[in-house]
Structures are given as structure tokens and as C-alpha cells.
Amino acid sequence: MNIKTWIKGIMLGILVSAIPGYAKEIKLLNVSYDPTRELYQEFNKAFAAYWKEKTGDTVVINQSHGGSGKQARAVIDGLEADVVTLALAYDIDAIAEKVKLFPKTWQSRLPNNSSPYTSTIVFLVRKGNPKQIKDWDDLIKPGVSIITPNPKTSGGARWNYLAAWAFALEHYKIQHPDQKDAEKSSEADAYAREFVGKLFKNVPVLDSGARGATTTFVQREIGDVFLSWENEAFLAIKEFGADKFEIVIPSLSILAEPPVTVVDKVVDRRGTREVAQAYLEFLYSEKGQDIAARNFYRPRLESVAKKYAEQFPEVKMITIDAVFGGWQKAQKRHFDDGGVFDQIYGIK
């Protein structure tokens, strides 16, 4: 090999080494509901590490948190989310319906109706349970002060409301064992309406989101019982101590399935589709499911669910489809302006 060849080789080597790496920095915005802060703090770190290893690119995920309904409205009003991870399907449907940022069939694009984890509603009470709250019917007793967010803005509050309503229907059914389909009767409906009305009469403060309600109950020490997302209740105990609070599992609760989706028009405009899709798919991976479970969300993956089985108590859960005919019907009847909640709470 002559000297010219050597020189060419060296020059080529210098050139190649001088070529900058193609690693880039990608930013995503995840618009989420209120109580998922800790979950996504941990999850985002894990995903960023995973993506860096896989592609060499740096992913920076910015989070926005708030009441699920409020967050949906923010996206409708122009907040450019790459992904939305909200408390209930109706809020994501509203985005698809009003501004068509993704197709109406979004829920079928990921497994389990695009809900990588589930949760439910439990009661968080003061240590020792001084008001002896054991079930939903204890909440309507005089002198019991209940903390729940506002169903007009919070997804968790809507789950609370519907769980209470479902309990009332079930309670009516138990009281009328001889009546066929008692829980579907108009009398049962009236009973449930009265029950939920009494419940909300015991609510002194309505926060806009679940995290605000946690602050009210835990830090401001207001109320005797907090109708809480299961994960929020566990987090409160973890953070503030099992000597201050305890969890009461009601006889009946609701299966909450917080869904997620990529916001197609935003990711296509920004060129972040591949990362955004991978981000949500990572929620379904073993690592993602493990993180969810560690943050007290009930995982879908069988293997992870078994690993954390002891962490999650047995709860009898109804589904929104079975009792209310789905979110569209429930939202329209109970939470739209002028709906049952407005009538109960006296909002004009």
C-alpha cells in the first residue's frame, strides 16, 4: 500500500469521525389527568432511557396535569399534546368529536380499549376511622363531611359519582328482592338520585381535580372521608404515613379504565409519531406495567398483576357499560350542563 493510499485512508477516517452523530432531541407533551404525576415522573425516565438505548435519540417528555375534563378542554382549545392520557374515554372522545385531532376509532388502536392500567374508587379516612365509615350509605349520614372533586372538571369525581349511584341502585335492589330488575326501575333511579343528592350535600368543598382534593383532605385536614382514586389513597398513605390515614374498601365500586391515545394531527405535524406511539406502547410493556403497579395502578399484564396481587385489595366492581350504558349516555345524562349533577348540586 503506497503513501497516497495511506493518506487517503487517514483523510477518510478524519472525515467520517467528523461527521456529527444523527442523534436528535425529541420533545413530547403528555397531557394527563391530575393524579398521574408520580406515575409519569417515573415512567418518563424509564421510557427516555429505553428510547436512548434503542435509537440513540434523546426524548424529553413534558407533562401537563389537571382535572381530566379541564385537560380535554385545554387540548380542544389548542394545547398541542402529542399524547393524551386522561381519566376516562369520554374526555378523549370529546377531543376527537370537537377538533378531530385523531379518529373516533382511537380506542381500538391499543390493547384493552387503550387502557394500559385500571383503577377504582376507595375511601380514604382518618386513622382510626372516627366516623366509622364502612360503606357508601355511611356517607349520607348527618355530620359526615365528604371530599370529592367537581364532576364537571374531574374525571375521578365522575367515577366517584357513578360508583355512588351504582351502589344506590344495588342497595335498592337488595331492599326489593322480589322486584324483578328492581335496579332498573324508575323508583330505583329516583332512589339513587336522592342518595347521590344527600351525598353531595355533605361535600363542603369542590376542587377542580383529584390532586386538589387530596390537598384539601390530607394537607388542609378538611373532611372525614375522601372519595379517592385508589392510587391516590395509597400514595397519601405512603407519603403522609399509615399512622394518619387508612383505606376503607366499599362493598361496591366502579372499574375505572383511564385510556391513552396518540394525537395524530399533532404528531404528524411535529414528526413525533414514531416516538409517541412507542411511548404509549411502553405502558403495556412489562417495565411499564411494573411502574404502573408500583404507583398503585392495577396492571393489565397477568405476570405483573400476580406480582403485585397482595398490594391491591379485592373490590367488587361494576362497569360503566353494564350499569350506565357507556360514557356517552352517562355524560349526557349526569354531567352535561343541566344534567342530573347540576340539578342535584343546584348549579344554574
Instruction: State the minimum distance, in angstroms, from the CB of residue 274 to other proteins.
Output: 27
Residue 127 to residues 220, 236, 284: CA-CA distances in angstroms? 16, 12, 35
* 217 neighbors 226 (Cβ within 8 angstroms): yes
Return the number of the residue (21 or 78) whose C-beta is nearest other proteins. 78
- The type of residue at 256 is A
Site residues for other proteins, 145-164, by CB under 8 A, read 145
148: left (phi over 0), alpha (psi -120 to 50) or beta: beta
* 267 neighbors 273 (Cβ within 8 angstroms): yes
Report if residue 220 touches other proteins, rule: CB under 8 A: yes
Return the number of the residue (157 or 168) whose C-beta is nearest other proteins. 157
Instruction: State the minimum distance, in angstroms, from the CB of residue 145 to other proteins.
Output: 7
Report if residue 34 touches other proteins, rule: CB under 8 A: no
3-state secondary structure of 224: coil
Question: Of 116, 212, 250, 288, which lies in the binding site for other proteins, with binding defined by CB under 8 A?
Answer: 212
| Helical packing angle, 68-76 and 155-175, nearest 10° | 130
Report if residue 289 touches other proteins, rule: CB under 8 A: no
Question: Of 46, 76, 144, 205, which lies in the binding site for other proteins, with binding defined by CB under 8 A?
Answer: 205
Report if residue 222 touches other proteins, rule: CB under 8 A: yes
Report if residue 98 touches other proteins, rule: CB under 8 A: no
User: Residue 286, Cα to own-chain centre: how many angstroms?
Assistant: 19
Return the number of the residue (93 or 207) whose C-beta is nearest other proteins. 207
- The type of residue at 87 is A
Q: Given the rule CB under 8 A, which of 52-60, 87-95, 219-227, 318-326 is the region that contacts other proteins?
A: 219-227
Instruction: State the minimum distance, in angstroms, from the CB of residue 331 to other proteins.
Output: 23
Instruction: State the minimum distance, in angstroms, from the CB of residue 92 to other proteins.
Output: 22
| Helical packing angle, 37-55 and 273-284, nearest 10° | 120
Sign, CA dihedral 124-130-132-136, equals negative
Q: Which residues are near other proteins by CB under 8 A?
A: 145, 204-208, 212, 216, 220-222
